[in-house]
Chain A
Amino acid sequence: MIQEGYKLDFSNQTFGVILYGQPGVGKTTLAMSDGNNGADTLLIDLEHGIGRTNPLHRMNCKVLSAANYQEVKKDLETPEAKAAKNIVIDTAGALVEYLKQWAMETQPGAKDRNGNWNGLKGFGIVKTEMDSFVNQIKTVMNKNIIFIFHADEKVDRDGNPIQRLRCEGSFRNTVWTGIDFGALIQRQGGKRYANFIPDDDNPAKGCHGIEGKIEIPDLSAGKKNDFLAWLFDTARANMQKENDAVADVIKGYNKIMEDVKGMVEGVTDADTANACLKAIGSMDHVLTSKKECGKMLNDKCKTLGLTYQKASGSYVAGDAK
């Protein structure tokens, strides 16, 4: 089914999320906050951290434990995995380690001639498989994917502490590209926060109205663990609002670009170029359409040997100088 972009329905939109922070800050509990005591969540528990969470918050959660990557992949085919709405990878750094082991066992290129890990080729293999794995969850299975990372505290050139995602290989960089939300989970003054504010010190990402430093609700006294459920619902509603608000803008932009493309195709000499220039100038432009149309016309004029004369504001044959 092909739909116009401005008519899209986001009620079933899925998301990619990064949660990172220091040990013990509650990342795993937060990752299970589907508002249903974990019933909508499959947790791929690669660091055996599930035992440290409150049993009430994980009582309905499905937990995938595996000795190796092959088992993880196999278990993703089970009805339990297919039924989950959220798939949590706890932690992404550990998954890379599992993938390294898998690559050493099954991929000849991952080893050097002495049988040791060949970092250069090996990480390329790991990266390709990781992309395929993430794609399977996000696109094929259409699940929300939640990556948990440990925070790696480093120092910048001036000696100030900075946080980065703890993970070997390029995934710590490329993971951000396909992600909708990324937050540093912090504990301050007895409260917990999800910090979506990106800055030099802390990687983060917010969109669709999810931004700033958001307090994570206190979970004492049997309160509902539903932060991610709230986040996804809010983002979906905001996406729909954003889309509806710009529908006319996008329609207008597409129409102008299509019309001008046709006009530019019809330019054959200075007269038709100047007529096109005049038409572009008289349009009610949307976003950057005026500059784009001007460039489109200018490129066409160049192929016809026409140049723009600033003084007269028109195209002339040959070199304007």
Chain B
Amino acid sequence: MKTRITKTLLDSWNYMFDCAEGFEQEARDEFITTLKREPTPPNEAQQAGLDFEKLVMRIAQGEDVTRLEKGYNGAKQIADIVRGGQWQVHVDTDVEVDGRIFWLHGFIDVLKAGVIYDVKFKTKSFSNLDLWHCYRHSSQHSAYLKCVPEAYEFVYLISDGNDLYTEAYTRQTAEPIENIIRNFMNWLKGEPELLKIYEERWIVE
């Protein structure tokens, strides 16, 4: 049996263990919604992230964007880095974990000259955040470095609309995606009902 797997599913699973105290049930509910592949409208923070990403794209593509637009300063710094790259590149690969094949796929924000870029938006000001290694537990860099073997680096471009903070991962510093998938599957095996949902809804036709 070949099943799909995405960074969204893995991150939503991972969030159950990384969420703030008191949000465990909410995180579990969100994971089950993702597992069931139920469409949900973006929440406020997600929408702000999508809007910011669009702003970066517009600036990078040379559109005349006024400096007064919300988030311009941060978006401009990111646009200067990704200009000339290709946006929303679909990537995929088969990953074998313990004899089972997973079809790993997703969309890269920007691909340029061997580097995968991902634009992140923080609704809180950087003044109030500790950003060091803030995406270390994300499966995203592991997943996409696996999908694009020609890429040598994955860089998160993180902004609060004013400032830019970057966090880079290479194959040497990223957790192999096989390990993440293995942990995910081992956890699912302990939750037979959820495993059943996964195998039914994520099967590759």
| Residue ranges of A at the interface with B (Cβ–Cβ < 8 Å) | 119-120, 123-124, 127, 164, 168-170, 173-174, 176-177, 198-200, 203, 250, 253, 285, 287-288, 290-292, 295-296, 299
Q: A169 and B132: CB pair below 8 A?
A: no
Evaluate whether A164 and B132 lie within 8 angstroms (CB atoms) in the complex, with A170-B127, A296-B86 already known. Answer: yes
Q: Establish whether residues A170 and B111, one from each chain, have CB atoms under 8 Å apart when the complex forms.
A: no
Q: Closest CB of chain A to B119's CB: distance in Å?
A: 15
Write the chain B residue with the least CB distance to A162. B132
A-B contact count (CB 8 A): 77
Docked Cα-Cα span, A127 to B114, in Å, equals: 32
Q: Are the CB atoms of B148 and A176 closer together than 8 Å? A: no
Residue of chain B at shortest CB distance from A120: B125
- Mark interface residues in B109-140 (1 if CB within 8 Å of A CB, else 0): 00111110000000001110111110010000
A164-B130, A198-B133 known; 4 new pairs, CB 8 Å cut-off, are A170-B127, A174-B126, A287-B113, A291-B89
CB contact between A177 and one of B150, B152, B164 (< 8 Å): that residue: B164
B165 within 8 A of A: yes
Over the window 81-102 of chain B, the binary record of Cβ atoms lying under 8 Å from chain A Cβ atoms (1 yes, 0 no) is 0000110010100000000000
A291 engages B164 (CB within 8 Å): no
Q: How far is the CB of B101 from chain A (nearest CB, A)?
A: 19
Interface pair B162/A124, CB less than 8 Å apart: yes
Q: Closest 8 CB pairs between A and B?
A: A170-B126, A287-B114, A295-B86, A173-B131, A170-B127, A203-B132, A292-B86, A174-B163
Question: Is B195 interfacial (CB-CB < 8 Å)?
Answer: no
- Is B163 touching A287 in the complex (CB atoms < 8 A)? no
Whether A288 pairs with B151 at a CB distance below 8 angstroms is yes
- Residues in A with CB closer than 8 Å to B131 are 173
Q: Is residue B14 contacting chain A, with contact meaning CB distance below 8 A?
A: no
Do A177 and B165 contact each other (CB < 8 Å), given the known contacts A164-B130, A200-B133? yes
Residues of B within 8 A of A124 (CB): 162
Chain B nearest CB from A274 CB (Å) reads 20
> What are 30 A-B contacts defined by CB distance under 8 Å?
A119-B127, A123-B127, A164-B130, A170-B125, A170-B160, A173-B126, A173-B130, A173-B131, A173-B165, A176-B165, A198-B133, A198-B173, A200-B133, A203-B133, A253-B113, A287-B114, A287-B150, A287-B151, A288-B111, A288-B112, A288-B150, A290-B150, A291-B86, A291-B148, A292-B85, A292-B89, A292-B111, A295-B89, A296-B86, A299-B86
Closest beta carbon of chain A to B180's beta carbon, Å? 16
**Pair B111/A174 contact, Cβ less than 8 Å:** no
Please tell me if the beta carbons of B130 and A291 are within 8 angstroms of each other in the complex: no
Q: Which residues of B contact A198 (CB under 8 A)?
A: 133, 173
Seen from chain B, the residues whose Cβ lies within 8 Å of a Cβ on chain A are: 85-86, 89, 91, 111-115, 125-127, 129-133, 136, 148, 150-152, 160, 162-166, 173
Majority SS at the chain B contact face: loop
- Minimum C-beta distance from B156 to chain A (A): 12
Q: Who on chain A is nearest to B152 by CB? A: A287
Which of these, A174, A250, A296, A299, contacts B165 with CB under 8 Å? A174
Closest chain A residue to B114 by CB distance? A287
Q: With A and B bound together, what is the CA distance between A170 and B74 in angstroms?
A: 13
Query: Do A170 and B113 touch across chains, with their CB atoms under 8 A apart?
Result: no
Cβ of A285: which chain B residues have Cβ within 8 Å of it? Answer: 150
Q: Nearest-CB distance from B4 to chain A (Å)?
A: 17
Which chain B residue has the least Cβ–Cβ distance from A175? Answer: B165
Report yes or no: B111 in contact with A291, Cβ–Cβ below 8 A.
yes
Q: Which residue of chain A has its CB nearest to the CB of B137?
A: A200
Least CB distance from B11 to A in Å reads 17
Question: What residues of chain A lie closer than 8 Å to B114, measured between beta carbons?
Answer: 253, 287-288
> How near does chain A come to B154, taking the closest CB pair, in angstroms?
12
